[in-house]
């Protein structure tokens, strides 16, 4: 499958699959996202990152309120981080039923955003690793080949 090159926003430098993709431009960073977060929350974030790294190479896509994980597209994100836990999502091409999902959004015929909350390191288990592996392939657009 031939892939089109990514379009890069001239203001913030973020790459996107489609030109002029709506987003919030700004100078955001992982460090700023983690600033003033409790140590146990940062540990959850770091463990989540370890699971993402096991999927393959990616880039961080920090935004105003979240940290996205991107190959060609953002395939997972940490949407909130506090002493109460870490709110996350993975993007899949199918509706995956799990009692661990807080909600599932259907954004298109082959796009499901599956939201879940991680409260302890034990929650970052093999099931979450499987979700991330599947969503990594979506982020790499392997489902289009």
Could you state, in order of their start, the residue ranges of all structural domains in the chain? 28-144
Please give the share of the chain, as a percent, with pLDDT higher than 70. Answer: 90
Q: What is the pTM of this model?
A: 0.86
Q: Residue 140 class from Cβ within 10 Å (0-12 exposed, 13-18 middle, 19+ buried)?
A: buried
- Interval 27-39: pLDDT, tens: 889 999 999 999 9
Q: Average model confidence (pLDDT) for the chain?
A: 89
Locate the DSSP E strands across 1-145: 7-8, 15-16, 59-62, 67-70, 74-82, 85-92, 101-108, 111-118
Q: Is 15's pLDDT higher than 80?
A: no
Q: Which of 71, 69, 59 is nearest to 140 (CA)?
A: 71
Q: Is 19's pLDDT higher than 90?
A: no
Question: Which pLDDT does position 21 carry in this prediction?
Answer: 62
Among 36-50, 58-72, 112-126, whose mean pLDDT is lowest?
A: 58-72
Question: Which pLDDT does position 145 carry in this prediction?
Answer: 65
């Amino acid at each position: 499958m031939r892939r089109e090159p990514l379009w890069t926003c001239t203001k913030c430098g973020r790459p996107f699959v489609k030109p002029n993709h709506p987003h919030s431009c700004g100078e955001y960073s992982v460090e700023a996202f983690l600033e003033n977060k409790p140590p146990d929350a940062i540990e959850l974030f770091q463990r989540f990152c370890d699971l993402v790294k096991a999927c393959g190479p990616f880039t961080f896509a920090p935004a105003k309120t979240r940290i996205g994980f991107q190959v060609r597209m953002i395939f997972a994100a940490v949407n909130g981080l506090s002493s109460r836990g870490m709110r996350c999502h993975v993007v899949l091409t199918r509706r995956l039923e799990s009692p661990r999902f807080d909600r599932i959004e259907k954004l298109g015929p082959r796009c499901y955003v599956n939201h879940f909350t991680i409260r302890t390191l034990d929650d970052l288990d093999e099931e979450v690793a499987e979700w991330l592996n599947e969503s990594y392939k979506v982020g790499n657009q392997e489902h289009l080949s």
